[in-house]
Amino acid sequence: MSKEMLKFVNIEKETPFKKKVTTRKKDFKEIYSEFINEKAKEQSSRCSQCGVPFCQVHCPLSNNIPDWLKLTAEGRLLEAYELAQSTNNMPEICGRICPQDRLCEGNCVIEQSGHGTVTIGSVEKYITENAWDEGWIKPIKIKNEKEQSVGIIGAGPAGLAAGEQLRKLGYQISIYDRYDRPGGLLIYGIPNFKLEKQVVERRTKLLKESGIKYLQNFEVGKNSTLKQLREKHGAILIATGVYKAKEIEVPGSNLQNIFPAMKFLTASNKKGLGDKVELFDNGTLNAENKNIVVIGGGDTAMDCVRTAVRQNAKSVKCLYRRDKENMPGSAREVANAEEEGVEFVWLSSPKEFLGKNKIENLVVDKIKLGEPDDSGRRKPEIQEKSEFIIKADMVIKALGFDPENLPKLFNSKDLQITRWGTLKTDFDTMETNLPGVFAAGDIVRGASLVVWAIKDGRNAATSIKKFLENKETKRVKVA
């Protein structure tokens, strides 16, 4: 293992899978800095209040960034928090894991003029963490609970944001989820070193204390049909995310120790939450002392390579068929992975998996980039007779996700989908073709971001409110 990699492994050993919020170790560049009051003030006062808030325009939630930066700079932290939370249901989570370099911070005017961006995400996280510490964040108190209820399928950020918005309005909320914990990919996808699980659990607990009912280990399609849920609730929100792993079809794919990314990450996250995970404990899903090869170039691939580093892998390689400039993952994540000792094998694609029963080697083709395809990206083409061998004890496939076949799964053939398998919704209302059934998050957009899931959840909640109000008006008129 390289010296670089050893350095990071040793650091992580000091903070293995903690349940509590961990403080940032000095050498970890990837995690937001642990702000103190003075630093937050200093960063906030760097905002030039430029008058054209490009940061706000490029935040999917249109957060009023300049104003909460100003309030923070003036030490008015309660007001700063109130403003930040008025547009975002999970500011401390977005502050941690939004790809700010592509959103708010990447469009900061100071950044554009070469002076380094205001670290907006860190300030957003600081304001909200401070609010938690001060006891300003409290469960929702309902004076007059409405009789109407909403059934939400999926306890990821889209479902949780919608649930919170509707609960504030007094509706009864039931969230059904097939996992044993709420949080969706916040809890079982995104690794602990990017988003501490205690931070997610604190939010989901708050919603429970606000009267939202979680029905865990409940799979719609198995434990009930969509029709049954529609009969039970005034409106339904489908926020099930996308979970069908994209496959790679090469000879040897059935060998042991070749896993989809979510299997590897879920085991690691469950371990971090203190669960007993047999396949991790018996070594099957543990990268320790193994040569790991991750296939893919997105953020999920980056999470896999960096998780493997933290599990004391012997070596970690990332195979990607394009070059660094054309990688879909965030440049910041790639830089962090490189710094931690991950070896990137650019312009390469697996041709065959070799081994007796278990994976032992990969035959890999070299790739050259051809003319741009329909998407505008240069097409990868195999270079003739360029193959080479890479040793591997475990292969992790991180090639992206497709939606599951929801009409089939939900026994609801009339539910319309797009040609990509995502749910077809009305652009304005987020309602599907079934009246009173709405959809939000990745199941509408395809694999996306937490901040967009929150945005969709909030928009869907607004439409659901209108729908339920109309329904109630009609009912009263008839009565």
Smaller CB separation from ligand FAD, 126 or 264: 264
Please give the Cα distance from 237 to 235 (Å, whole number).
7
| Interface ranges with ligand FAD (CB under 6 A) | 97-98, 153-159, 176-179, 184-185, 189-190, 194, 219-221, 239-241, 265, 299-300, 303, 409, 441-442, 448-451, 453
Indicate which of ligand SF4, ligand FAD, none lies near residue 129 (CB less than 5 to 8 Å, by partner kind): none
- Please give the sequence-ordered ranges of beta strands (E in DSSP) within 210-346, or none if there are none: 213-215, 235-238, 244-245, 258-260, 291-295, 315-319, 343-345
Indicate which of ligand SF4, ligand FAD, none lies near residue 88 (CB less than 5 to 8 Å, by partner kind): ligand SF4
Nearest-approach distance from CB 121 to ligand FAD, in angstroms: 11
Contact between 121 and ligand SF4 per CB under 6 A: yes
Span of 23-31, 98-106, 240-248, 388-396 interacting with ligand SF4 by CB under 6 A: 98-106
**b (16+ CB within 10 A) / e for 388-410:** eebebbbbbbbbbbbbbebbebb
Smaller CB separation from ligand FAD, 48 or 448: 448
Span of 57-65, 176-184, 229-237, 252-260 interacting with ligand SF4 by CB under 6 A: 57-65
Beta strand 394-397 with 388-391: parallel, antiparallel or unpaired?
unpaired
Please identify which residue in 104, 235, 258, 423 interacts with ligand SF4, judged by CB under 6 A: 104
Indicate which of ligand FAD, ligand SF4, none lies near residue 260 (CB less than 5 to 8 Å, by partner kind): none
Nearest-approach distance from CB 150 to ligand FAD, in angstroms: 15
Span of 99-107, 172-180, 252-260, 464-472 interacting with ligand SF4 by CB under 6 A: 99-107
105 three-state secondary structure? helix
The packing angle between helices 450-478 and 157-168, to 10°, is: 40
Contact between 61 and ligand SF4 per CB under 6 A: yes
Please identify which residue in 77, 98, 319, 395 interacts with ligand SF4, judged by CB under 6 A: 98
Contact between 109 and ligand SF4 per CB under 6 A: no
Indicate which of ligand FAD, ligand SF4, none lies near residue 59 (CB less than 5 to 8 Å, by partner kind): ligand SF4
Contact between 65 and ligand SF4 per CB under 6 A: yes
Nearest-approach distance from CB 194 to ligand FAD, in angstroms: 6
Indicate which of ligand SF4, ligand FAD, none lies near residue 12 (CB less than 5 to 8 Å, by partner kind): none
Nearest-approach distance from CB 1 to ligand FAD, in angstroms: 24
Indicate which of ligand FAD, ligand SF4, none lies near residue 104 (CB less than 5 to 8 Å, by partner kind): ligand SF4
What type of residue sits at position 190?
A: I
Nearest-approach distance from CB 330 to ligand FAD, in angstroms: 8
Contact between 117 and ligand SF4 per CB under 6 A: no
Nearest to 295 by CA among 318, 312, 322, 269: 318
Contact between 71 and ligand SF4 per CB under 6 A: no
What type of residue sits at position 370?
A: G
CB contact at 8 A, 436 and 68:
no
Q: Which helix (H) or strand (E) holds 201?
A: helix 197-209
Please give the Cα distance from 287 to 219 (Å, whole number).
30
**Window 16-55: residues binding ligand SF4 (CB under 6 A):** none
Integer angstrom CA distances of residue 478 from 88, 202, 233, 475 = 38, 44, 20, 5
Gyration radius (Cα) of the chain, Å: 23
Please give the biggest Cα pair distance in the chain. Answer: 78
Please give the Cα distance from 24 to 388 (Å, whole number).
40
**b (16+ CB within 10 A) / e for 33-65:** eebeeeebbebbebbeeeeebbbbebbbbebbb
Indicate which of ligand SF4, ligand FAD, none lies near residue 342 (CB less than 5 to 8 Å, by partner kind): none
Nearest-approach distance from CB 125 to ligand SF4, in angstroms: 8
Contacts 24+ apart (CB under 8 A), 70-76: 70/44, 72/40, 72/41, 72/44, 72/123, 72/126, 72/127, 73/41, 73/44, 73/45, 73/47, 75/37, 75/41
Strand partners, 57: none
In which residue are the tokens 């049909």 written? 225
Q: Which residues in this chain contact ligand SF4 in the complex, by CB under 6 A?
A: 59, 61, 63, 65, 88, 94-95, 98, 100, 103-104, 120-121, 124, 451
